[in-house]
Amino acid sequence: MLSVTGLRTGYDKIEVLHGIDLQVSAGKIVSLIGSNGAGKSSFLMALSGLLRAWNGQVEFNGQAIHGLAPDAIVRAGLVQVPEGRRIFAHLTVEENLDLGAYTRHDPPGIRQDKEEMFKLFPILKQRLRGLAGNLSGGEQQMLAMARALMARPKLLCLDEPSLGLAPMLVEKIFEIILGIKARGLTILLVEQNAFKALEIADWAYVLENGKIELQGTGLQLLLEPKVKSAYLGV
């Protein structure tokens, strides 16, 4: 579904990603783990078109999407939940959901998907008319995910969905991610919480200093000594 080859990008003149090769096949969860500053978020920014690719290719469902504007990439079906949730704080919860569906023009389908979101995230229904900025951190993460799902993505990219959440909420978020996968969505998960991310991954990559250092199934990487010592702390 997603095929990245030799992707290089950076900020100003400083290269951050030095040629990334990465594949995501349909219906799978692919995790990308790595420490702070390894380039994980930059990688997602490049996929979404917010960071221009200097070199290399990003192919999504057979279409080259590097070089497309961010809104065109969303319309192609690649949608990102950015790090730090980035919900629209001054808008209501419902308006946030409506904006998730910005690229769509099927009001009945949008209404139906909203109902779906209320099933997946019941708290959102209770807070529908409230300002999104008044939600708790966990609720904001759920809203950010629901907002992205409202776009009916084919590939959902999640950037650090568990960051800053209480352990119980982290469990809940990962449960939801599995639930989303069960609906047939493909997921690219970027995480610092390497253990959880590898646990649910069908395939995983380890990013270090802007390069893919390792890859394998989630289980293989969980047992890999290098991963164990560097990312799992065991």
Whichever of 165 and 204 has its CB closer to another protein, that residue is: 165
Whichever of 19 and 84 has its CB closer to another protein, that residue is: 84
- Measured distance CA(223)–CA(192) in Å, rounded: 17
Separation of first and last alpha carbons in the chain: 34
Burial category of 107 from C-beta neighbours within 10 Å (exposed 0-12, middle 13-18, buried 19 and up)? exposed
Instruction: Kindly state the smallest distance separating residue 81's Cβ from another protein, in Å.
Output: 8
Instruction: Kindly state the smallest distance separating residue 74's Cβ from another protein, in Å.
Output: 3
Q: Is 5 in a helix, a strand, or coil?
A: strand
Instruction: Kindly state the smallest distance separating residue 220's Cβ from another protein, in Å.
Output: 32
Report residue 125: phi and psi, to 5°.
-65, -40
Whichever of 163 and 232 has its CB closer to another protein, that residue is: 163
- Measured distance CA(131)–CA(31) in Å, rounded: 32
* Residues linked to residue 30 through DSSP beta bridges, in sequence order: 188, 203
Instruction: Kindly state the smallest distance separating residue 228's Cβ from another protein, in Å.
Output: 30
User: Interface residues with another protein (CB under 8 A)?
Assistant: 48, 50, 69-71, 74-75, 79-80, 82, 84, 86-91, 95, 98-100, 102-103, 131, 133-137, 140, 147-148, 151, 164
Whichever of 158 and 200 has its CB closer to another protein, that residue is: 158
Whichever of 75 and 228 has its CB closer to another protein, that residue is: 75
* Residues linked to residue 22 through DSSP beta bridges, in sequence order: 4
Contact of 66 with 56, CB cutoff 8 Å:
yes
Encoded amino acid at 204, one letter: A
Instruction: Kindly state the smallest distance separating residue 56's Cβ from another protein, in Å.
Output: 21
Whichever of 59 and 98 has its CB closer to another protein, that residue is: 98
Instruction: Kindly state the smallest distance separating residue 82's Cβ from another protein, in Å.
Output: 6
- Measured distance CA(41)–CA(221) in Å, rounded: 21
